[in-house]
Amino acid sequence: MTVKLYYKNTYIKEFNANIIQIIEKNDKFNVELNQTAFYPEGGGQPSDIGYIGDIQVSYVYEEKNKIYHVIDKLPSKLDNLKCRINWEKRFDNMQQHLGQHILSAAFEKLYDANTIGFHLSSNSVTIDIDRVLSNEDINKVEYFANQIVFNDFPVKVLYPTEEELANLPLRKLPPVTDNVRIVKLDDLDYSPCCGTHPNRTGEVGLIKIKKFEKYKAGLRIDFACGNRSLKDYLVKNDIVNKISSELSIKSDEILDSLGRINKELLDIKKENKYLKEQLINYEAIDLIKDAKVLYNTKIVKKTFHNRNLNEIKQLAATLINNNDKVVSIFGIHNNDQARLLFNRSKDLNQINMKEILNDCLTLIDGKGGGSPVSAQGGGKNINNLDKAIALAYKKIKECLQ
């Protein structure tokens, strides 16, 4: 059985070890050492990474009380190998994991909210609690958790007997009662845990709740501790300073300024929508004036280049709604896409726009659909777009005769 150095001293960064077993699996080597400071994935905490000699360790796991280190190649010798863990990643995991203990304890003590889920990855830390709380409640929890950090309480590991375990004020019950590892935060919190943690709460540095959202019957809390919270602050502070500089305002004026800008933008959008509608109305009037009249029916046909599809749909609707006995045959050439948009007045029942569209789609190598009143489709053969419009005009003429 591998000696677990990370439980003897979580601050061990380098150590010497011998390889005592090698298993080749999935084109990689899974090696067991006689002792290791590499923490294997478990208890919600990712595994350590680092080096055995000059060979990178990409993953560490525990299976049947044996700890395996995944490497791409074998070292030239098996004994007295110098090993080192990636301390930056290890200490980050330690900060986040102890921060989770502190935050969970704060939720439980202030609002009797239990932690029912924990996830720690290289870019995210979350806990799930079983209660819905307000923004004010969350702020109080964050403040209380950070007071635990700033008071720099000692963190100890206990291995109580079954009798001792029964008398401890555990925040959650362990699945077993023998050989249980308890992480103790002064007299504030007792939790069964197999992870690695700093020796004092002050090493967590800072706990910052970044956001929270409804999750099942409670909340999912997204937070960061220590160096992660510092990096998060640096990014957000940089964003605030850039916005402040761009708008030429003080940072505490940003929200008021953004509210004003948002209102101005909404007003501009409303005005822009109104002006577009007016332009489309004028465009529809011009098209009706130039329309061909067949059997008392006005036929409007045109090919547009680089026009917004929704605008052309609105133009077709304006033509049909504001005039009697109108047929619109529109082609649209946008980039490398050819589109057909056919519409008619409801009382022109002798014309089936869907059937006419199907006849024309073959020319543009396209697909589409619709109804007897309105149909549309698109294809890649832009060279035949005008031919498709001409064919549609011919089919409509035949229907009207």
Structural domain includes residue 252? no
pLDDT for 82 equals 97
Q: Which of 85, 114, 144 is the last residue of a domain?
A: 85
Over pLDDT 90: what percentage of the chain? 90
Give the span between the Cα atoms of 95 and 184, in whole angstroms.
15
- pLDDT by residue (tens digit) across 272-319? 999 999 999 999 999 999 999 998 999 999 999 999 999 999 999 999
pLDDT for 344 equals 94
Structural domain includes residue 265? no
Q: Give 309-312 contacts, CB < 8 A, sequence gap 24+.
A: 309/334, 309/339, 309/341, 311/276, 311/280, 312/341
pLDDT for 336 equals 87
58 and 80 belong to one structural domain: yes
Judge whether residue 21 has pLDDT over 80. yes
pLDDT for 298 equals 94
Structural domain includes residue 336? yes
Q: 368, 322, 372, 377: which is closest to 346 by C-alpha?
A: 372
Judge whether residue 217 has pLDDT over 90. yes
Over pLDDT 70: what percentage of the chain? 100
66 and 102 belong to one structural domain: no
232 and 300 belong to one structural domain: no
Judge whether residue 113 has pLDDT over 80. yes
CB 113 within 8 A of CB 87: no
pLDDT for 235 equals 95
Q: Can you tell me which residue has the tokens 């999750």?
A: 215
Give the span between the Cα atoms of 241 and 160, in whole angstroms.
52
235 and 170 belong to one structural domain: yes
pLDDT for 3 equals 94
25 and 122 belong to one structural domain: no
Structural domain includes residue 253? no
Alpha helices, DSSP H, located in 290-373: 309-322, 353-361
Confidence band for 323, pLDDT divided at 50, 70 and 90: confident
Judge whether residue 27 has pLDDT over 80. yes
CA angle centred on 260, ends 257 and 265, rounded to 5°: 125
Q: What CATH number is associated with residue 13?
A: 2.40.30.130
Confidence band for 111, pLDDT divided at 50, 70 and 90: very high
Judge whether residue 176 has pLDDT over 80. no
pLDDT for 360 equals 94
pLDDT for 44 equals 86
95 and 226 belong to one structural domain: yes
- The residues with which 175 forms a beta bridge, in sequence order, are none
Q: What CATH number is associated with residue 126?
A: 3.30.980.10
99 and 233 belong to one structural domain: yes
Structural domain includes residue 268? no
70 and 107 belong to one structural domain: no
Confidence band for 222, pLDDT divided at 50, 70 and 90: very high
Q: What CATH number is associated with residue 304?
A: 3.10.310.40
- pLDDT by residue (tens digit) across 66-105? 999 999 999 999 999 999 999 999 999 999 999 999 999 9
Neighbours of 397 (CB within 10 A): 15
Burial class (CB in 10 A: 0-12, 13-18, 19+), 315: buried
| HSE, side-chain direction, 13 A CA sphere, residue 9 | 6
Structural domain includes residue 244? no
123 and 52 belong to one structural domain: no
Q: Which of 85, 102, 122 is the last residue of a domain?
A: 85
pLDDT for 43 equals 84
Give the span between the Cα atoms of 296 and 289, in whole angstroms.
14
Give the span between the Cα atoms of 77 and 19, in whole angstroms.
9
Could you please report the per-residue DSSP string of 77-97?
-SSSEEEEE-HHHHHHHHHHH
Q: Which of 29, 53, 85 is the last residue of a domain?
A: 85
Q: 341, 336, 346: which is closest to 361 by C-alpha?
A: 341
The structural domain count of the chain equals 3
Domain that holds residue 207: 91-239
Q: At what angle do helices 309-322 and 254-289 cross, to 10 degrees?
A: 50
pLDDT for 171 equals 85
Give the span between the Cα atoms of 35 and 391, in whole angstroms.
82
288 and 390 belong to one structural domain: yes
Q: Which two tokens stand for residue 296?
A: 């008392």
Give the span between the Cα atoms of 172 and 245, in whole angstroms.
49
Neighbours of 215 (CB within 10 A): 16
Structural domain includes residue 248? no
3-state secondary structure 147-175: HHHHCCCEEEEECCCHHHHHCCCECCCCC
Neighbours of 278 (CB within 10 A): 10
Q: Is 296 left (phi over 0), alpha (psi -120 to 50) or beta?
A: left
76 and 133 belong to one structural domain: no
| HSE, side-chain direction, 13 A CA sphere, residue 66 | 15
CB 212 within 8 A of CB 222: yes
Structural domain includes residue 247? no
Across the chain, mean pLDDT equals 94
Read off the pTM.
0.74
- The residues with which 292 forms a beta bridge, in sequence order, are 299
Q: Which two tokens stand for residue 94?
A: 């330690």
In this structure, what is the dihedral angle of CA atoms 17, 20, 24, 29, given to the nearest 10 degrees?
A: 0
296 and 221 belong to one structural domain: no
CB 366 within 8 A of CB 342: no
